[in-house]
């Protein structure tokens, strides 16, 4: 494996692990604030990010590279509102997307078409996750400070889907 690409993939392992820890923290926050639906949503997101991470670990090792399992800083757990919680979600996804785009850019520079091909799965995943994050934020903007709106949002969150165009 091209060392520069191996390094970038290992960095990506770290970003996915970081997202997984962040969403677990957000799930826990939701749990302790009475939002069980939102908690379930983020527990699920956290597991998905762990899958993203493990897929990278296996791929690096299969390509005779060395996957490095990173130390993770304590994630953020101080959210003032649901809006802030979901803004953090979108920011995290946008950050990961930017990093994936960078890996793809470097794959083309190094003519590493195998990794380029592997990363397409991540591009599709990101498109969907960013769309979900934006959809949920848009709903929260409509709801504003309305407490019964928050109640319904929490009740229904696990039935929302990304727009059809990105599924």
Q: Which residues bind ligand FEO (CB under 6 A)?
A: 16, 19, 49, 52, 93, 96, 126, 129
Minimum Å gap between C-beta 135 and ligand FEO is: 15
Residues 6 or more apart whose Cβ sits within 8 Å of residue 40: 27, 157, 158
Closest to ligand FEO by CB, 16 vs 154, is 16
CB count within 10 Å of CB 88 equals 19
Closest to ligand FEO by CB, 83 vs 127, is 127
CA distances from 84 to 47, 93, 141, 155 (A): 21, 14, 11, 19
Minimum Å gap between C-beta 51 and ligand FEO is: 8
Minimum Å gap between C-beta 16 and ligand FEO is: 5
Minimum Å gap between C-beta 127 and ligand FEO is: 10
Minimum Å gap between C-beta 15 and ligand FEO is: 7
Closest to ligand FEO by CB, 52 vs 150, is 52
Closest to ligand FEO by CB, 129 vs 154, is 129
Closest to ligand FEO by CB, 128 vs 151, is 128
Alpha-carbon distance of 118 to 112, in angstroms, equals 10
CB count within 10 Å of CB 57 equals 18
Q: Which residue has the tokens 């392992």?
A: 13
Half-sphere exposure of 144 (CA within 13 A, CB side): 2
Residues 6 or more apart whose Cβ sits within 8 Å of residue 29: 77, 79, 85
Q: Which residue has the tokens 């990101």?
A: 126
């Amino acid at each position: 494996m091209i060392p520069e690409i191996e390094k970038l993939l290992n960095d990506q392992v770290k970003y996915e692990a970081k997202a997984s820890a962040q969403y677990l923290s957000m799930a826990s926050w939701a749990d302790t604030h009475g939002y069980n639906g939102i908690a379930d949503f983020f527990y699920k997101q956290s597991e998905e990010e762990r899958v993203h991470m493990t897929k990278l670990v296996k791929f690096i090792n299969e390509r005779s590279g060395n996957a490095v399992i990173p130390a993770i800083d304590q994630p953020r757990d101080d959210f003032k509102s649901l809006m802030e919680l979901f803004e953090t979600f979108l920011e995290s996804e946008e950050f990961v997307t930017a990093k994936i785009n960078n890996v793809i850019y470097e794959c083309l520079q190094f003519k590493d078409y195998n990794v380029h091909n592997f990363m397409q799965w991540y591009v599709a995943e990101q498109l969907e996750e960013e769309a979900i994050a934006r959809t949920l934020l848009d709903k929260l903007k409509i709801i504003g400070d309305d407490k019964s709106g928050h109640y319904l949002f929490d009740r229904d969150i696990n039935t929302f889907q990304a727009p059809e165009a990105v599924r």
